[in-house]
Amino acid sequence: MNKRVLIVGLGLIGGSVALGIKQQHPDSMIIGYDRSEANLETAKRLFIIDEGCTDWLEAAKDADLLLLATPVEVTKQLLVDLADVSLKDGVIITDVGSTKGSIMKAASALVEKGITFIGGHPMAGSHKSGPASAKAHLFENAFYMLTPFSDTPPHQLEQLKDWLRGTRAKFMTLDADQHDLLTGVVSHFPHIVAASLVRQTKRYAESFEEINDLAAGGFKDITRIASSSPEMWKDITKQNRAHLLTFLDEWMEEMKDVRSWVAQGDDHELYSYYAGAKEYRDALPIQKRGAIRSFYDLYVDILDDVGVLSRVTAILAENQVSITNIRIMEVREDIYGVLRISFQNEDDRQKAKNSLEALQFTTYIAL
């Protein structure tokens, strides 16, 4: 009998995990549920799922794997709802939430009944959303965090990894608090800082309209993550508040030191501050997918000639390279190139670079 997988939530993440599972386990039966009828129909039409259901709790009774691909607050309620359901022996339940502490707490009632729950967090995404944007390779080479309970049987963890192996992600296993601390440092807290930088700039832009033009260059690039979903980041901030409060306190203490060095014009401390940051940043792995979604940009030198932009796009089209964005750079401090082209992944960017350089265009990749 074919194994049955139930995916609750058929957005970008749920749909992409479903495609990855289908790729590795083509004989499995993937059942999908979504509150949006449109998402459910799209997932069926694109063969992301084999069939849909209208009662996910009923479908859960026969599932060998149950994936909750919903926002954290919704997932917590779904776990409560599952507590009264008679589930199949050996079923594994997992999720895709960005924070793990509160989810693991909500899942503890199930674990006490002998049901296996292993928290999950695939650390990749896209500027697009919905099942129509789902891709089997969305998580390829990205980290997929797994947070089992301390007494989770090792063979169950290995079974979940096998279910998810088709995503081609890199699995990292750690406990829930470690997960929330680490993702807080490298993802959640930077979103707060980016939003703060944008808000400060907005205040000055109310008095100096030139700021909007100047901010269109490097400033807009380094604050890209501030364009993320306000609803999602409001929830993440609340769910990881304990760690984020610690980071904010530490940040404010460091800013007091920086303010002192700036006020005193302290050459040694200011140099050490920038040099230490540069040294660590330059030593980070190149072209690896981390906690914050990577941006695959290629900068291209072009002359201001009629038709040159269409020539660049034609070259990429001829070589079957898809782009996600293209922009002429007007403010380019510390950025080489006049044209910035954004791609979905590193393979597309490298293919574009090779295609353009073969025709004598000069290109750059910002490190």
Q: Both 69 and 157 in a single domain?
A: yes
Q: Decide if 290 is inside a domain.
A: no
Q: pLDDT band for 289, please (50, 70, 90 cuts).
A: low
Q: Both 98 and 235 in a single domain?
A: no
pLDDT value of residue 294? 62
The answer to whether residues 107 and 79 touch, using CB atoms and an 8 Å cutoff, is: yes
Bridge partners (DSSP) of residue 95 are 68
Task: Give the tokens for residue 30.
Answer: 């993937």
Q: Model's pTM, two decimal places?
A: 0.78
pLDDT value of residue 275? 95
Q: Which residue has the higher pLDDT, 350 or 236?
A: 236
Burial of 88 (0-12, 13-18, 19+ CB in 10 A): middle
The yes-or-no verdict on residue 264 having pLDDT over 90 is yes
Of 121-125, 130-134, 267-271, 299-303, least confident by mean pLDDT is 299-303
Q: Both 256 and 315 in a single domain?
A: no
Q: pLDDT band for 349, please (50, 70, 90 cuts).
A: confident
What's the CATH number where 62 sits? 3.40.50.720
Residue with tokens 């009998």: 1
Q: Both 83 and 167 in a single domain?
A: yes
pLDDT value of residue 49? 94
Q: Both 301 and 316 in a single domain?
A: yes
CA distance 340 to 297: 6
Of 8-12, 41-45, 116-120, 284-288, least confident by mean pLDDT is 284-288
SS3 174: coil
Q: Decide if 291 is inside a domain.
A: no
pLDDT value of residue 103? 96
The yes-or-no verdict on residue 327 having pLDDT over 90 is no
pLDDT digits (tens, 9 = 90+) for 121-143: 998 765 567 888 888 888 888 88
Q: Both 161 and 199 in a single domain?
A: no
H and E: helices and strands count for the chain: 15, 12
SS3 294: coil
The yes-or-no verdict on residue 223 having pLDDT over 90 is no
pLDDT value of residue 329? 60
Q: Which residue has the higher pLDDT, 178 or 312?
A: 178
- High-pLDDT (> 70) share of the chain, %: 91
Q: Both 250 and 277 in a single domain?
A: yes
Which of these, 362, 217, 230, lies nearest to 303 by C-alpha position? 362
Q: Which of 122, 151, 174 is the last residue of a domain?
A: 174
The yes-or-no verdict on residue 112 having pLDDT over 80 is yes
Q: Both 187 and 87 in a single domain?
A: no
The answer to whether residues 184 and 243 touch, using CB atoms and an 8 Å cutoff, is: yes
pLDDT value of residue 333? 45
The yes-or-no verdict on residue 303 having pLDDT over 70 is no
Q: Decide if 190 is inside a domain.
A: yes
pLDDT value of residue 314? 85
Burial of 61 (0-12, 13-18, 19+ CB in 10 A): middle
Q: Which of 122, 147, 174 is the last residue of a domain?
A: 174
Which of these, 303, 299, 281, 301, lies nearest to 290 by C-alpha position? 281
Q: pLDDT band for 332, please (50, 70, 90 cuts).
A: very low
The yes-or-no verdict on residue 366 having pLDDT over 70 is no
pLDDT digits (tens, 9 = 90+) for 35-63: 999 999 999 999 999 999 999 999 999 99
Q: State mean pLDDT over 195-217.
A: 89
Of 200-209, 314-323, 339-348, least confident by mean pLDDT is 339-348
pLDDT value of residue 91? 96
Of 64-68, 204-208, 264-268, 351-355, least confident by mean pLDDT is 351-355
Q: Both 315 and 272 in a single domain?
A: no
Please name the amino acid found at residue 12. L
Distances (CA, A) of 344 to 134, 139, 170, 347: 13, 12, 19, 9
pLDDT digits (tens, 9 = 90+) for 70-90: 999 999 999 999 988 999 999
The helix (H) or strand (E) run that includes residue 364 is strand 362-364
Q: Decide if 162 is inside a domain.
A: yes
Residue 61's domain comprises 4-174
What average pLDDT does the chain have? 88
pLDDT value of residue 336? 47
Q: State mean pLDDT over 235-246.
A: 95
Count of domains for the chain: 3
Q: Which of 230, 252, 283 is the last residue of a domain?
A: 283
pLDDT value of residue 27? 94
CA distance 92 to 78: 15
pLDDT value of residue 252? 96
Q: pLDDT band for 335, please (50, 70, 90 cuts).
A: very low
pLDDT value of residue 285? 74
